Amino acid sequence: MSAIRVWVDGELVDPTAPSVRALDHGVTVGDGAFETCKVDRGQVFAMTRHLDRMDRTLAGLGLPAADRDRIREGADAVLADGPEIGFGRLRWTITGGAGPLGSDRDDSPMTYIVTAAEMPRPSATAAIVTVPWTRNERAATAGLKTTSYAENVIALAHAKARGGQEAIFGNTRGELCEATGSNIFVVVDGELWTPPLSSGCLAGITRELVVEWCREAGLEVREEAQPLSVLETADEVFITSSARDVHPVDLVDGRALSAPGPVTAQAAQIWAAALEEKGIDP
């Protein structure tokens, strides 16, 4: 793994040294939010949309809106702290700050953490595995990008132990929902579908742009519920995330798919053309 650059509350810090308080509410109860952006040739992709989503998550947690200038200060600091990152990840995390050992909060200022690192580009295709656990579409944190990710850690380990690169959740209604760090699209009888936000999935930035840009280009995307079992028969599947863009899936629970299929290839071409046209912060 390449060196990770770390900035905490205004200072670049040694990534191996202590830099967050033991009683930070993000540590004790997972009370915080985060965003991960793609870095491409030293530039952060879709940062404004990520900042907007961060504020939606903070509002859902009952925390104040983020100080965007502070986040940008941290981003500039880590990106400048070494050679240009050709392809990588920028992540910022905001926690509730110092707090009691329980779920109550006090009036401590929030903690700001920004990190960046080079990362390998994704493989040409991906294998996915469904997991036996569910997303609760009615949970208090449904659709929020919080730091409480233990469920995802368990699910991803389950998938990797079975040869997958991503784990796929259904929700409590038995509908297709999302992956641990990606959104999912399926092609059924030539039509492109993705779970609606009411499924409990995260409103992914790449998902949002794929839907927008495909529709602008004349490729309809249906945001409607499908049963999780659609993965047993779907003609094509792809997943989307900040680092993956449009990532074709060639294996679903051991079932081989031709990837990319024609609709997936069209979506990928639309994505690439829109990136060229709309720039780094669409």
Verify that 108 and 183 share a domain, yes or no: no
* 141-176: pLDDT as tens digits: 999 999 999 999 999 999 999 999 999 999 999 999
Residues 245 and 145 in one domain: yes
Q: 10's torsion region: left (phi>0), alpha (psi -120 to 50) or beta?
A: left
What is the average pLDDT across 77-83? 97
- The amino acid present at 17, given as its one-letter code, is A
Please answer whether residues 194 and 129 qualify as being in contact, where contact means their C-beta atoms are separated by less than 8 angstroms: no
Residues 133 and 92 in one domain: no
Total domain count, the chain: 2
pLDDT exceeds 50 at position 257: yes
- At 203-214, the pLDDT tens digits run 999 999 999 999
The pLDDT of residue 77 is above 80? yes
- Predicted model pTM: 0.96
Same domain, 114 and 144: no
Categorize the per-residue pLDDT at 61 as very low, low, confident or very high, splitting at 50, 70 and 90: very high
Query: At 67, which CATH number?
Result: 3.30.470.10
- Nearest alpha-carbon partner for 246 in 221, 209, 216, 279: 209
pLDDT in tens, 4-41: 999 999 999 999 999 999 999 999 999 999 999 999 99
Q: What CATH number has the domain bearing residue 217? A: 3.20.10.10
Work out the mean pLDDT of the chain and round it to a whole number.
Answer: 97
Confidence at residue 1, expressed as pLDDT on a 0 to 100 scale: 46
226-236 average pLDDT score: 98
Q: Tell me the two tokens of residue 225.
A: 């519920």
Residue 2 pLDDT greater than 80, yes or no: no
| pLDDT band with cut points at 50, 70 and 90 for residue 226 | very high
Domain end: 67, 96, 118, which one? 118
Cis-peptide into 262, omega within 30 deg: no
Residue 264 and residue 146 in one domain? yes
Q: How far apart are CA 194 and CA 192, in angstroms?
A: 7
Closest by alpha carbon to 244, among 40, 9, 31?
40
Q: Which of 85, 118, 151 is the last residue of a domain?
A: 118
| Residue ranges making up the domain that contains 85 | 5-118
Contacts of 276 (CB under 8 A, 6+ apart): none
In this structure, are 165 and 81 located in the same domain?
no
- 140 plus 267 within the same structural domain: yes
